[in-house]
């Protein structure tokens, strides 16, 4: 399930200031309609680094004989995304990653490790020189931003996910789709703003093909603690799909095969497959799980909430065990 939310600039300022109040009046006015994609925590994480011991290869012609020995002793299984050897831009010399080091490793400990590695590899002290401690990218980059941070320190393998890159930059959204998103999102905000006191959220479900709103729903927890707006909307979509199935069955030719809509299995009418959900507020964990189980294609929401299930506390929409 894709998740997008309107942005107002730096996420830490206007959004967090509004997130303390989860009532309908907390909706940003005027509503910002520049959307941003909400990726998984792994894709949004800043690149981290580990300490590594690096040395210069004195004679570049011996690289092919030195590299197998070092790799055999320290294969660096957790750093397979790094190139083991690089050419230093300033000295133009070849450098090799020998091993990783603990965070608290000091200069003397690093030198002792270097000398023991030379002995273990059966290398002469002149084969590798100018040993020093260097920061190395700790994990394979998943986004361009992570790759840029990693490659600035050491050559790193990166296989760009062009579809994800387009989503992060919102380049896969047409002008017509953007108008549809704004129309549906504004409708959700209008419903939340005009809702009776106690309604904390409003939800709109739209069809991306027709770009029409199918159902709207308001928070009804005054009547029942589980009647969150998202759950009410899913129930309404179930009724709508059931009506579509009945219409298809009634219009099917006599003796002919029923259409796909009429052949829906029990429970399929509750699925949000192929539909978009627009919520005035970030769904809570319960509602986020309901959206995932309903196979929602895309979710758009406005105000973050302290216990949110999409971007504030959890990233339920990106959990691999659920999708």
Phi-psi region for residue 245, left (φ > 0), alpha (ψ -120 to 50) or beta? alpha
Q: Is the dihedral of CA 267, 273, 276, 279 positive or negative?
A: positive
As given in the structure block, the two tokens for residue 242 are 């059931």
Average the pLDDT over each of 32-36, 128-132, 139-143, 197-201 and give the range with the smallest value. 32-36
Q: What percentage of the chain exceeds 90 in pLDDT?
A: 44
Model confidence pLDDT, tens digit, residues 127-172: 999 999 999 999 999 989 999 999 999 999 999 888 777 766 666 6
- Neighbouring CB atoms inside 10 A of 27's CB total 21
Mean pLDDT of the chain, nearest integer? 81
The Cα 232–Cα 228 span in angstroms is 6
User: Does the predicted TM-score (pTM) go above 0.75?
Assistant: no
Phi-psi region for residue 152, left (φ > 0), alpha (ψ -120 to 50) or beta? alpha
The tally of CA atoms less than 13 A away on the side-chain side of residue 250 is 6
Q: Which residue has the tokens 């992570």?
A: 146
Average the pLDDT over each of 20-34, 196-210, 239-253 and give the range with the smallest value. 20-34
Read off the DSSP letter of residue 78: G
Q: Contact 161/168 with Cβ under 8 angstroms?
A: no
As given in the structure block, the two tokens for residue 65 are 């004989």
Model confidence pLDDT, tens digit, residues 226-265: 889 999 999 999 888 888 888 888 877 765 555 554 444 5
Q: Give the residues across from 215 on adjacent strands.
A: 205
């Amino acid at each position: 399930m894709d998740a997008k939310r309107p942005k107002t600039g730096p996420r830490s300022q206007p959004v967090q200031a509004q997130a303390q109040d989860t009532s309908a009046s907390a909706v940003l006015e005027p509503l910002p309609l520049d959307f941003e994609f909400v990726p998984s925590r792994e894709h949004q994480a800043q690149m981290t680094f580990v300490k590594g011991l690096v040395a210069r290869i004195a004679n570049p012609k011996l690289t092919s004989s030195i590299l197998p020995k070092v790799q055999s002793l320290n294969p660096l299984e957790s750093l397979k995304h790094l190139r083991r050897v690089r050419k230093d831009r300033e000295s133009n010399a070849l450098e090799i990653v020998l091993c990783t080091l603990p965070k608290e490793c000091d200069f003397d400990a690093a030198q002792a490790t270097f000398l023991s590695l030379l002995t273990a590899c059966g290398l002469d002290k002149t084969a590798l020189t100018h040993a020093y401690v260097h920061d190395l990218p700790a994990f394979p980059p998943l986004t361009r931003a992570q790759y840029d941070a990693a490659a600035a320190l050491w050559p790193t393998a990166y296989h760009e996910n062009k579809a994800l890159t387009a989503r992060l930059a919102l380049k896969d959204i047409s002008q017509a789709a953007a108008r549809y998103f704004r129309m549906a999102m504004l409708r959700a905000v209008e419903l939340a703003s005009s809702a009776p006191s106690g309604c904390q959220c409003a939800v709109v479900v739209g069809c991306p093909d027709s770009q029409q709103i199918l159902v709207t729903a308001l928070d009804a927890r005054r009547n029942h603690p589980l009647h969150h707006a998202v759950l009410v909307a899913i129930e309404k979509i179930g009724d709508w799909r059931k009506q579509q199935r009945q219409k298809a069955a009634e219009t099917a030719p006599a003796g002919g095969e029923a259409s796909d809509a009429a052949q829906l299995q029990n429970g399929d009418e509750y699925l949000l497959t192929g539909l978009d959900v627009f919520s005035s507020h970030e769904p809570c964990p319960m509602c986020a799980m309901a959206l995932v189980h309903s196979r929602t294609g895309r979710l758009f929401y406005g105000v973050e909430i302290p216990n949110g299930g999409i971007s504030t506390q959890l990233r339920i929409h990106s959990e691999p065990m659920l999708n």
